[in-house]
Amino acid sequence: MNEDNNKDTAATDGCNVIGAEDDVVVIASTSNGPAKKRKRYSTVWNHFDTSNDDTDEWANCKYCGKRYPLSGKTNGSTSNMIRHLKHTHPDVETRTVSEEIEIIEFSQERYREALIKYIVVCNQPFTEVEQQAFLDMIHILNPAAITISSSTVKRDIMKKFEEKVRNMVAHLKNVPGKISFTIDAWTSKNVLPFMAIRAHWINSNWVYETVLLDFVYIEGSHDGKNFCSIFVQCLERFEIRLCKVLALTMDNVDSNNTLMDFLRLHGIKTGVCISAEENRVRCMLHILNLIVQDILAFLKIPLNYEADVVIEQDDQDKEKIEFGDKDEKEVDVSNLKT
């Protein structure tokens, strides 16, 4: 027992142990050499400089020159310096490291939640978690983190999605009035058809709210009957009764006209009156686009006419520069054909 005590005493001989409040400097020494000073971490050092005289090291306030010893009884403590800043320079930031950094205990559950959020928000593939560089980074951040496979990430994301759906169902049930929808279908650059369904409503505090309810890959034909089926399935998934539907805003195309026809028939079966005349809003931007296209077609002007003229003129200028224009003549623009 005495030997252990002697070992402990020997281990602490020559070491200056600083309390928790003195997070500025740790001084360690061994019997084999002089004391070594480690990095000062406290933000109080943003407001003090250090200096040395023949016997002591001092901390000097940058604002008023007040000096505090860093050796002897103070043992490198910053308590006096912090008090000085608070009382003499109250406008100066005086947070300590313990106040700046909140140490959060690692949790595997929180890690997995943060991981799936990263995958979804940053649009990363599920296999990202199996990349060696990613695994190395996680191990550096916390070796205790248990890595998971891409299939586990997929399951976690689907669980989180179903949880979000349940929360949205509960939220929509509290909507005091009716709900409007915007529906749009299109084909992506890689020839994949999609339909987006967004809901809009006014909450009990008279605040406008909107949410993307569904983003569907369209299977089957791109006709109004199939579009109506997709919309009805979305309503059923979020437990929205057809009588809660105020209006549908869609592009001015034939398939959407047919959608409203089939939705009217579905309403008849469920005892709800819904029609294109009362519940359809045609997209004004799409209508304006169609109008402009008709005008350009009537004038026989292609949509990229201006761009073509600029490109052609640039080519002509380039030829003049390269080969010269020996036979340059004034052109009568009245003879040009459009």
Percent of the chain with pLDDT over 70: 72
Cα separation, 128 vs 33, in Å, equals 49
Is the predicted pLDDT of residue 96 greater than 50, yes or no? no
Q: Where are the alpha helices (DSSP H) in 66-181?
A: 79-88, 97-100, 108-121, 132-141, 150-173
Q: Assign 216 a pLDDT band (cuts: 50, 70, 90).
A: very high
Q: Which tokens is 188 given?
A: 């992506």
Q: Which tokens is 103 given?
A: 């140490």
Contacts of 168 (CB under 8 A, 6+ apart): 211, 213, 238
Pairing state of beta strands 48-52 and 57-61? antiparallel
Maximal C-alpha separation, the chain? 116
Q: State mean pLDDT over 305-318.
A: 57
Per-range mean pLDDT, top range of 49-53, 65-69, 140-144, 193-197 = 193-197
Contacts of 26 (CB under 8 A, 6+ apart): 18, 37, 38
Cα separation, 83 vs 89, in Å, equals 9
Handedness of CA 208, 213, 217, 218 (dihedral sign): negative
Q: What is the DSSP string of 101-134?
A: --PPPP-HHHHHHHHHHHHHHTT--GGGGG-HHH
pLDDT score recorded for residue 333:
38
Cα separation, 244 vs 252, in Å, equals 23
Q: Which of 274, 271, 246, 272 is nearest to 259 (CA)?
A: 274
Cβ contact 172:240 at 8 Å: yes
Domain layout of the chain by residue ranges: 16-100, 108-166, 178-282, 288-321
Which residue carries 């309810």 as its tokens? 213
3-state secondary structure of 290: helix
Q: Where are the alpha helices (DSSP H) in the chain?
A: 2-12, 79-88, 97-100, 108-121, 132-141, 150-173, 224-237, 254-270, 276-279, 284-299, 305-323
Architecture in CATH for domain 178-282: 2-Layer Sandwich (3.30)
In degrees rounded to 5, what are phi and psi of residue 83? -60, -40
The residue ranking higher by pLDDT, 334 or 59, is 59
CA 163 to each of CA 199, 209, 210, 215, 278: distance values in angstroms, whole numbers, following the listed order: 19, 20, 19, 17, 35
Q: What is the mean pLDDT of the chain?
A: 79
pTM of the model: 0.56
The residue ranking higher by pLDDT, 60 or 331, is 60
